[in-house]
Structure 1
């Protein structure tokens, strides 16, 4: 622990007040820190929604850790935050083949948090001497806290990398990344390094859990069950993060497959060769990103389910305008009306099939459809494609 001079009683009280105010309404600070950190992070990490969510959770944990410490003992030394949550994110950095330069995002978050803390400090006192001491004490506290957090994570990254080097995972990850990035590696060479034949068909999957108790063995078991359901002996897998696994196998998955409890699975298309291996994985990642915006009870989805929505979501501003214009008052109506009309259109405008899919009585479905039609700005007839797409967008992306 470094030598630490305590602040004056008056400044200690000001620091405590500031920390209390920060914790009362942290959303504004969180939003700005999250945006800056994700913007500064490697795209390979932030494009994975599970890791992006872990990074956001780590940002919040660091802010809360420092603020809570300064409520208990204002101006006192705050040791680095090396909680399991923070260390899991560091392990994910190693597993993606990145180095410790990715920790620069912590400095970006520190700078944003410091600017907002200075604004808060100026609202606490107008006395120049108090303000000078307050800023001096908290600057040292914040910078020391971040320095120790980053140093601790860097040490862990080095230990993890030493354990990883020479293992099968390191070679698998390196080769898979070469394929995904379109590097000039031959199919024969890549197959030899992966010990997985790339000449045939491939269906990719992202298998992940959002529960803290989930481990790699649970993910591996789910991936193998998925592969067996598709008629393969087992899946070819790569550890993507502490809570996610990338998998490939040689056949489509039957729609009847039910993932184990707490496991979510995003499936790509089925395609051939090394380019098919890559394309299917990218499709699975796109599906996973959309699943992260849906309730957890949606545990299995394929790219075929979301392809149109994934393409539409690339321009969310125009997509939102399209939904509003197409659905009119239905866009803000009861969710069950939108869901009934969505399923009705998916079932080729059959009320009987929609009723079976929704586990509802046919008359109930007809009543909801009549109410939904009344809320549309134009008749459903002749506009079924546009209305169906708008409803799919709302279903997957939310209101």
Structure 2
């Protein structure tokens, strides 16, 4: 509970709005705050009341590196102060629950207040030194130049195309498909090597020869491929199999500077959406999730729309709902639907008859809204689904 409360309070501050909007970066900051809580608590269990040394573990250095690379170095220091204040409020509540003896309570709060303040001050000083080092490194080298140019393009600032292409070693007037890659290993380890391997596999799958890569954090890459990439089911399955600890979101293909920008922003939007759904796909594209993401900001209305349009079909078995969805995609061709589902045509026909009996209106009368409702139903969040009723398997 403490980890979640401290993390939520930290990311709710206005200065960290950009961090909160980025799933990879916000998770990095949460891990940093959680690590500080654990470090202080563990040290006090080993040696109660003794000074706790600054937390300068590899994780804290990685968090500092991530934040500086995204221009959020100073915000990191404020985040740790906010985390300290929130943790102190929780600690005081716990202390008041442990004792009602005034003298004992005064001693407990005095000792722990000094301990926490000293620990956070020392940790922030160490982090500030690391931030200075990271900033110095970022002001030198090709990666810094790339990041600066890309930031200008994404922000819509005027950029001399010839200069940008020279720095990026990438043509901007051709086709683009952007992707956001991040590590999904449970321990947060792995670095950039798995992401680089995935990026190379994606380039090869797209039939391209090169890519533009920007290091977004210690555990995330932004890439652009000069191609209009659309992965089929077999290609997605192979990339998943070969890269089990990499998450990837692809944006809409585009062309020129505007397409470069829009493709990346749609990839980020896809990443934000997949973090809200249960058992998200490792690889997702904006084209797959566009309809569902449009309703993501209003899950209550989306849930009501699904229930109103689908009626009892909303609670039907997964195979029946999926058959109707694929049948609509196949433009009402039962044989094509059977082929896509690896099912017998008669099975498809029986499922469609069952669906018609469950729908408020027959499928042929309202295929557009029924298809939309099924697509929303497929990608809705856990909370979205629970509003309709428990015990229904997520697709």
TM-score by length of 2: 0.83
Structure 1 residues 192 and 297, CA gap change in structure 2 (3 angstroms)? same
Which of residues 107, 117, 136 is equivalent to 2:81? Answer: 107
Residue 154 (structure 2) aligns with = 180
Please state if 1:50 is matched with 2:24: yes
Structure 1 residues 33 and 310, CA gap change in structure 2 (3 angstroms)? same
Structure 1 residues 380 and 75, CA gap change in structure 2 (3 angstroms)? farther
- Measured after TM superposition, the shift of residue 333 of structure 1 is 5.6
- Measured after TM superposition, the shift of residue 267 of structure 1 is 1.2
Structure 1 residues 81 and 394, CA gap change in structure 2 (3 angstroms)? farther
Residue 243 (structure 2) aligns with = 261
Q: Unaligned regions of 5+ residues in structure 1, if any?
A: 1-26
Which of residues 135, 145, 149 is equivalent to 1:171? Answer: 145
User: How many Å separate the matches in 2 of 1:355 and 1:297?
Assistant: 26
Residue 158 (structure 1) aligns with = 132
Which of residues 258, 262, 267 is equivalent to 1:279? Answer: 262
User: How many Å separate the matches in 2 of 1:373 and 1:149?
Assistant: 63
- Measured after TM superposition, the shift of residue 140 of structure 1 is 1.7
> Does structure 2 conserve the Cα–Cα contact (< 8 Å) formed by 1:293 and 1:396?
no
Which of residues 35, 48, 61 is equivalent to 1:61? Answer: 35
User: How many Å separate the matches in 1 of 2:209 and 2:54?
Assistant: 46
Please state if 1:239 is matched with 2:215: yes
1:1-399 correspondence runs (5 A): 27=1, 29-40=2-13, 42-211=16-185, 212-256=188-232, 257=235, 258-259=238-239, 260-262=242-244, 263-294=246-277, 298-328=281-311, 330-331=313-314, 334-362=317-345, 365=348, 376-398=359-381, 399=385
User: How many Å separate the matches in 2 of 1:81 and 1:337?
Assistant: 54
- Measured after TM superposition, the shift of residue 251 of structure 1 is 0.9
Structure 1 residues 264 and 140, CA gap change in structure 2 (3 angstroms)? same
User: How many Å separate the matches in 2 of 1:142 and 1:370?
Assistant: 66
> Which range is displaced more, 220-229 or 273-282?
220-229
Q: Unaligned regions of 5+ residues in structure 2, if any?
A: 386-395
- Measured after TM superposition, the shift of residue 54 of structure 1 is 2.3
User: How many Å separate the matches in 2 of 1:174 and 1:328?
Assistant: 51
> Does structure 2 conserve the Cα–Cα contact (< 8 Å) formed by 1:208 and 1:244?
yes
Residue 388 (structure 2) aligns with = none
User: How many Å separate the matches in 1 of 2:31 and 2:347?
Assistant: 42
1:104-125 residue CA offsets vs partner (Å, 9 max, x unmatched) = 1111122122112212221211
User: How many Å separate the matches in 2 of 1:373 and 1:267?
Assistant: 35
> Does structure 1 conserve the Cα–Cα contact (< 8 Å) formed by 2:169 and 2:212?
no
Structure 1 residues 55 and 319, CA gap change in structure 2 (3 angstroms)? farther
1:228-251 residue CA offsets vs partner (Å, 9 max, x unmatched) = 322321111101111211111211
Q: Over the residues paired in the alignment, what is the CA RMSD in angstroms?
A: 2.7
> Does structure 2 conserve the Cα–Cα contact (< 8 Å) formed by 1:341 and 1:369?
yes
Structure 1 residues 280 and 254, CA gap change in structure 2 (3 angstroms)? closer
Q: May I ask how many residue pairs the two structures share in their alignment?
A: 372
TM-score by length of 1: 0.82
The DSSP-based 3-state class of the residue aligned with 2:71 is coil
